[in-house]
Every structure is written in C-alpha cells, then in structure tokens.
Amino acid sequence: MINLILFGKPGAGKGTQAAFLKKRYELVHISTGDLFRNHIQNKTDLGTLAQSYMDKGDLVPDQVTINMLEQEVAQNPAAKGFIFDGFPRTTAQAQALDGFLRSLNMQISGTLALEADDDLLVGRLLKRGETSGRTDDQDEAKIRNRFEEYNTKTAPLKDYYQAQNKFFTIDGVGEISEITARLEAVVDQLK
Ligand code: AMP
C-alpha cells in the first residue's frame, strides 16, 4: 500500500499532479478543499461552516477537517492507497492522521512537497480564478492570506515529516509532464 501526501502552497499544482498520480498508482485521491467545496455546493451545515473560513482564505478548524477526512478514508476500505491533497495543513492534523492510519494498520509512505515562488503562484491562482469560479482565487489579498496561513500553520509540517525521513522536495516549476516525472521518480523509490 502506498499513501502519499501532496504538500505545497496554494497553486503549487497539487490537484493537477494528484490526477496523474492517482491513475499511475491506482490511488484514491482525497482533496479536503474539494470535499469542502462539494459541501458548499450541496448546502450542508458543514459547507456553511467551511465557507465562512474559506471565503477569507483562513483554514477551517482542525477537528471539523479531521472528522471529514477520516470519514472519507473509511468509505474506501478497498483502496490500494491514498493521495492526501491539501491535508494535513496543521501539526494537529498531521498527528491525527498518523494516529488514524496507525489504527488501520496503515502509514504515510512519503510527503511530496511541490515548490514554487510566491509571485509565480499568485499569477497561477489569479489565472485559475478566471475560469474556476473560486472567489478565493480571484482576490490577491485572499491569496496572500492563504500563503500566510501556510507559512504559519502548514510549513512547520516539513520538520514533522523530515523527522520521520518522509519529506521530499520537488521543483514545481516547469511543464506539467516534467513535474509529474519528478514526482514519479520519488514515488517509485517509496514502493
Ligand atoms: P484548497 O482547495 O486545498 O486550496 O483549499 C481551499 C480552502 O479550503 C482553504 O483555503 C481552506 O479554507 C480550506 N481547507 C482545505 N483543506 C484544509 C485543511 N486541511 N485544513 C483546513 N482548511 C482546509
């Protein structure tokens, strides 16, 4: 079984690359951002709650996010493995994920961090915002706040996974196919 975390700032290419890795290694792709957006679309209570944070570019509270993620994993008992995209984003989430996976006799194989400059990421996100309809991609102040959330709450996870020898940095700049090849080279060593 192979369980990957795709790590990186908003716009780093996690969703795009997850789509390739999912096919290549037959994994279940779980994006907490997509799950929240589905809840918002379906007008659930969780969606209403999540939206109030997402609209500002703030993180949704840990326990809400962790519960949603655990439910999603539990709904895929036959999975050959998972790609976690946009989760964990805080140390509390990482600890909860480790504990939860352990309880299922599973573990994280590796955390793949896609790296690119902030200015390049802002450009990518504003461009995505033209077609995605995502209001959090259409306003530079919200984008910068998402980076701030990342820097303060998510970036420390690098140390968390490095301490477990599970952190791999991948250059996230270039053609999509080149970046996929860089990721595959790392994943193939984890198998
Ligand atoms: P994303 O699609 O991954 O860029 O996520 C969009 C938004 O959803 C984020 O800016 C957060 O408000 C929320 N979100 C997604 N994943 C998480 C998470 N793991 N923890 C907290 N909030 C999250």
Per-residue pLDDT of the chain (191 residues; tens, 9 = 90+): 999 999 999 999 999 999 999 999 999 999 999 999 999 999 999 999 999 999 999 999 999 999 999 999 999 999 999 999 999 999 999 999 999 999 999 999 999 999 999 999 999 999 999 999 999 999 999 999 999 999 999 999 999 999 999 999 999 999 999 999 999 999 999 98
Ligand 1 center to 190 CA (angstroms)? 27
**What is the reported pLDDT for 41?**
97
Whether the model pTM is above 0.75: yes
Nearest CA to ligand 1 atom 1: 33
| Domains in the chain: boundaries | 2-190
pLDDT tens-digit series, residues 60-110? 999 999 999 999 999 999 999 999 999 999 999 999 999 999 999 999 999
- The CB of 32 under 6 Å from ligand 1? The reply is yes
**What is the reported pLDDT for 159?**
98
Burial 4-43 (b: 16+ CB within 10 A, else e): bbbbbbbbbbbbebbebbbeebebbbbbbbebbbebbeee
**What is the reported pLDDT for 162?**
98
- The CB of 57 under 6 Å from ligand 1? The reply is yes
CATH architecture of 2-190: 3-Layer(aba) Sandwich (3.40)
- Using DSSP, state whether 57 is helix, strand or coil: coil
Task: Give how far the C-alpha of residue 127 lies from the chain's centroid of Cα atoms, to the nearest Å.
Answer: 20
Q: Which tokens hold the place of 133?
A: 């309809």
> Rounded distance, CA 168 to CA 112, Å?
5
Ligand 1 center to 77 CA (angstroms)? 24
- The CB of 10 under 6 Å from ligand 1? The reply is yes
Beta strand pairing call for 81-85 and 2-7: parallel
Ligand 1 atom nearest the C-alpha of 14 is 3
- The CB of 60 under 6 Å from ligand 1? The reply is yes
Nearest CA to ligand 1 atom 2: 33
- The CB of 7 under 6 Å from ligand 1? The reply is no
